Chains A and B, each alone.
Chain A
Amino acid sequence: MNRLLSFSAVLLYAFLHLPLLVLAAFSFNQGRLTVWQGFSLRWYEAAFHDGQLIEAALNSLVIAFAATALATAIGTLCAYGLWKHGSRTFTLSLSLSLVTPEIVMGISLLALFQWAFRFLGAHLGLHTVILAHVSFCVAFVVIVVLARLRTFDAALEEAALDLGATHFAAFYRVTLPNLVPGILSAALLAFTISFDDYVITSLVAGVDSETLPMVLYAIARRGANPVVNAISTIIVFGLGALILVSERLRKP
Chain B
Amino acid sequence: MNRLRTLCLAPAALLLLALFAAPMAILAVYTLLTRGVYGGVAQPFTFENWLRLFDPLYLGILARSFSVAAAATALCLVLGFPLALFISRAGPRKHLYLALVMLPFWTSLLVRTYAWMFLLRDTGLINTSLLALGLIRQPLPLLYNWWAVLLGLVYGYLPFMVLPLYSTLERLDPALSEAAADLGARPFETLRRVVIPLAAPGMRAGVLLVFIPCLGAYLTPDLLGGGKTILIGTLVQNQFTNARDWPFGAALSMGLMAIVLVLLWLQVRRQGQSLL
Contact = CB atoms under 8 A, between A and B. Distances in A.
Interface of A: 1-2, 4-6, 8-9, 12-13, 15-17, 19-20, 22-23, 26, 33-35, 73-75, 77-78, 80-82, 84-85, 87-88, 90-105, 107-112, 114-115, 131-132, 134-135, 138-139, 142-143, 146, 167-168, 171, 189, 192-193, 196, 198-199, 203, 213, 216-217, 220-221, 223-224, 228-229, 232, 235-236, 239-240, 243-244, 247, 251
Nearest to A80: B8
Contacts of A90: 9, 12-13
Given A9-B82, A217-B110, A26 B15 contact: no
Contacts of A33: 123, 128
Given A104-B236, A109-B23, A203-B240, A9 B12 contact: no
A101 B256 contact: yes
Nearest to B111: A232
Interface in B46-95: 79, 82-83, 85-87, 89, 95
22 contacts: A1-B188, A4-B82, A8-B82, A19-B155, A74-B11, A77-B7, A77-B8, A78-B9, A84-B1, A84-B4, A99-B275, A101-B216, A102-B213, A109-B23, A112-B22, A135-B15, A168-B4, A196-B108, A196-B109, A239-B107, A247-B102, A251-B95
A115 B111 CA distance: 33
Q: Say what secondary structure dominates the interface of chain A.
A: helix
Contact of B83 (A9, A77, A142, A189): A9
A77 B11 contact: yes
Interface string B87-117: 1010000010101111110111111101111
Given A92-B274, A112-B19, A239-B106, A9 B9 contact: no
Contacts of B89: 2, 5
B148 interface: no
Contact of B257 (A20, A73, A104, A189): A104
Given A96-B264, A111-B23, 4 more contacts: A19-B115, A77-B11, A110-B240, A232-B114
Nearest to B235: A103
Contacts of A134: 15, 19
B16 A220 contact: no
B118 interface: yes
Contacts of A100: 20, 257, 260
Given A95-B276, A99-B212, A103-B218, A223 B12 contact: no
Interface string B247-263: 00110010011001100
Given A87-B9, A196-B108, A22 B125 contact: yes
A102 B218 contact: yes
Contacts of B155: 15-16, 19
Nearest to A1: B187
B172 interface: no
Contacts of B150: none
B180 to A, nearest CB: 13
A224 B118 contact: yes
A223 B22 CA distance: 38
Contacts of B119: 19, 22
A146 B274 CA distance: 14
B42 interface: no
B124 A34 contact: yes
Instruction: Name the residue among B21, B114, B219 with the largest chain A CB count within 10 angstroms.
Output: B114
B128 A35 contact: yes
B268 interface: yes
Nearest to A247: B99
A108 B99 contact: no
B219 A199 contact: yes
Nearest to B127: A34
B40 interface: yes
Contacts of B100: 13, 16-17
Contacts of A108: 23-24, 26-27, 253
Contact of B86 (A5, A92, A236): A5
B137 interface: no
Contacts of B237: 103, 107
A19 B112 contact: yes
Contacts of B165: none
Contacts of A131: 19
B276 A142 contact: yes
B27 A107 contact: yes
B215 interface: yes
Interface string B212-243: 11011111001100000000010011001000
Contacts of A5: 82, 85-86, 89
Contacts of A96: 260-261, 264
B204 interface: no
B121 interface: yes
A15 to B, nearest CB: 7
